[in-house]
Amino acid sequence: MRVLVVGGGGREHALCWKLRQSPRLGALYCAPGNAGIAGVAECVPVAADDLAKLLRFAKEQAIDLTVVGPELPLTMGLVDRFAAAGLRAFGPTAAAARLEGSKAFAKELLRHAHVPTAFFGVFADPDDATRYVNEVGAPVVVKADGLAGGKGVFICRTVAEADEAIDELMRRRLFGDAGSRVVVEEFLEGDEVSFMALSDGTTVVPLAPSQDHKRVLDGDQGANTGGMGAYSPTPIVTPALESEIMQQVIEPIVQALAKQGTPYTGVLYAGLMVHDGRPKVLEFNVRFGDPEAEVLLSRLRSDLLDLLARTCEGRLAGETLEWDPRAAVCIVLAAEGYPGAVERGRPIDGLERLAGWANGTVFHAGTRIDDGRLVTDGGRVLGVTALGDTIDAAVTEAYAAVDQIRWPGMHFRRDIGHRALAAERKDGQHGGA
């Protein structure tokens, strides 16, 4: 099969790396890709949201399957446009991608399908939103309805903070039209978990559970980021909780979308808050998480190309996935200033020392070749991903690899996996695995 991957981050490097292992793979292209992806796929200089150029390329190159990494081309209707041209693409249609593209749509569907989630209101008028906040009190969460690059959610400790958030989103339009409506919802406490499943429209197959670290600093402090690290599996998601999530969250949502004539095809990502062993949905994403994809694809033993093709063809029934029993941990190495503005073009040293690394892979998130040298080219630069018999062993292996790499201004968290490690060690004391 001739395959095109759309995107150019760590997730797309992991997708290309895993697709490359498939015996069914013919040619592999990635648009736009990055310096690491160039080692496993042919990079094509087309932006991930340039649907017209992507479609032309796929036609010209007779691409059999296009795999879409990021959310933007999905919400813009890449899959619909490819389907109209007779081309197959992995991911939801624009109508189904509203699950991520509109938080109001997602919340209303959750309510309609009786899926547990924080109680909420949706508002198009800032005065109504303010009145609601005064009624329910703080703490409260204010969210832009539309895509805001992971910056449209405000956790407000006071009513005044919530008023300020409403003002920024709705009156000052900090994120443009994404703030024409807001969701105001109950603040939930608990442990955050990422749960992903493949859906072919009717059949759903769970992927291994994982957790990520959103905050930039150790101890989950500082600004929110796209993700500073991830690990899988997680002790919080027991087999019992996994089946509860499938039955109470994933299946009802996929059924509801099918029933309203907009079936969901692709990977469905539920961001969950688990409290007292009960899951509640924080949000949906309509693609693989990043850096969750790096740890999941490192653990996946099944043929990814086969799985993605079956998903597109509505042939997931009877499918079960094979996983490496080892744990995987990904440490994100970020550029100075991230998650704010960053300077690009800093030369990266030390990767050559990891060339024959047996227990892990360095996925590139933001790199390019400049004058024959590997340099930084984004906020998140590398995702150092290691396998180990326990989370503890994987963490040790990953940080040993991180120690080999440096560039001016590089920063990363030193406590990735800390919650799982605490659980693992407690378990160990009780004589468990």
- Measured between alpha carbons, how far is 89 from 323 in angstroms, rounded to an integer? 25
**Which of 71, 80, 251, 283 contacts ligand ADP by CB under 6 A?**
283
Evaluate the omega torsion of the peptide bond into residue 263 and state whether it is cis, within 30 degrees of 0.
no
Q: Which is nearer to Mg ion, 326 or 413 (CB)?
A: 413
DSSP string, 161-210: HHHHHHIIIIIS-TTGGGGSSEEEEE---SEEEEEEEEEESS-EEEPPPB
Strands (E), 276-372: 278-285, 327-334, 360-364, 367-370
Which of 255, 160, 130, 166 is closest to 204 using CA atoms?
A: 255
204 has which bridge partners?
199
**Which of 94, 136, 153, 423 contacts ligand ADP by CB under 6 A?**
153
Least gap, CB of 3 to Mg ion (angstroms):
28
Least gap, CB of 359 to ligand ADP (angstroms):
29
Least gap, CB of 128 to ligand ADP (angstroms):
19
- Measured between alpha carbons, how far is 291 from 150 in angstroms, rounded to an integer? 14
Q: Considering only the stretches 48-56, 223-231, 264-272, 293-301, report the one whose residues sit in contact with Mg ion under the rule CB under 5 A.
A: 264-272
50 binds, among Mg ion, ligand ADP, none (CB under 5 to 8 A by kind): none
Q: Considering only the stretches 55-63, 165-173, 174-182, 185-193, report the one whose residues sit in contact with ligand ADP under the rule CB under 6 A.
A: 185-193
185 binds ligand ADP (CB under 6 A): yes
Q: What phi and psi, each to the nearest 5 degrees, are found at residue 119?
A: -70, 155
282 binds ligand ADP (CB under 6 A): yes
Q: Is 302 exposed, middle or buried (0-12, 13-18, 19+ CB in 10 A)?
A: middle
153 binds, among ligand ADP, Mg ion, none (CB under 5 to 8 A by kind): ligand ADP
Window 36 to 65, contacts with Mg ion (CB under 5 A) = none
For ligand ADP (CB under 6 A), the number of binding residues is 16
Give the tokens for residue 374.
């590997």
108 binds ligand ADP (CB under 6 A): no
Q: Which residue is nearest to ligand ADP (CB)?
A: 283
- Measured between alpha carbons, how far is 79 from 67 in angstroms, rounded to an integer? 10
Least gap, CB of 10 to Mg ion (angstroms):
16
Window 31 to 60, contacts with ligand ADP (CB under 6 A) = none
Q: Considering only the stretches 57-65, 147-155, 169-177, 359-367, report the one whose residues sit in contact with ligand ADP under the rule CB under 6 A.
A: 147-155
Which of 109, 129, 119, 139 is closest to 181 using CA atoms?
A: 129
48 binds, among ligand ADP, Mg ion, none (CB under 5 to 8 A by kind): none
Q: Which residue is nearest to Mg ion (CB)?
A: 271
For Mg ion (CB under 5 A), the number of binding residues is 1
- Measured between alpha carbons, how far is 350 from 339 in angstroms, rounded to an integer? 24
- Measured between alpha carbons, how far is 19 from 172 in angstroms, rounded to an integer? 44
Q: Which is nearer to ligand ADP, 13 or 280 (CB)?
A: 280
DSSP 348: P
185 binds, among Mg ion, ligand ADP, none (CB under 5 to 8 A by kind): ligand ADP
294 binds ligand ADP (CB under 6 A): no
97 binds ligand ADP (CB under 6 A): no
Given the structure tokens 């693992």, which residue do they identify? 424
Q: In whole angstroms, what separates CA 433 from the centre of its chain?
A: 29
The contact mask relative to ligand ADP for 238-277 (x = CB under 6 A, - = no) is ---------------------------------x------
> With contact defined as beta carbons under 8 Å apart, do 31 and 44 qualify?
yes
> With contact defined as beta carbons under 8 Å apart, do 231 and 329 qualify?
yes
Q: Considering only the stretches 86-94, 124-132, 145-153, 408-416, report the one whose residues sit in contact with ligand ADP under the rule CB under 6 A.
A: 145-153
The helices-and-strands tally (H runs, E runs) of the chain is: 14, 22
CB atoms within 10 A of CB 391: 26
Q: Considering only the stretches 84-92, 179-187, 378-386, 424-432, report the one whose residues sit in contact with ligand ADP under the rule CB under 6 A.
A: 179-187
192 binds ligand ADP (CB under 6 A): yes
Give the tokens for residue 209.
């559970």
191 binds ligand ADP (CB under 6 A): no
Least gap, CB of 228 to ligand ADP (angstroms):
12
Which residues contact ligand ADP (rule: CB under 6 A)? 118, 141, 143, 150, 152-153, 155, 185-188, 192, 214, 271, 282-283
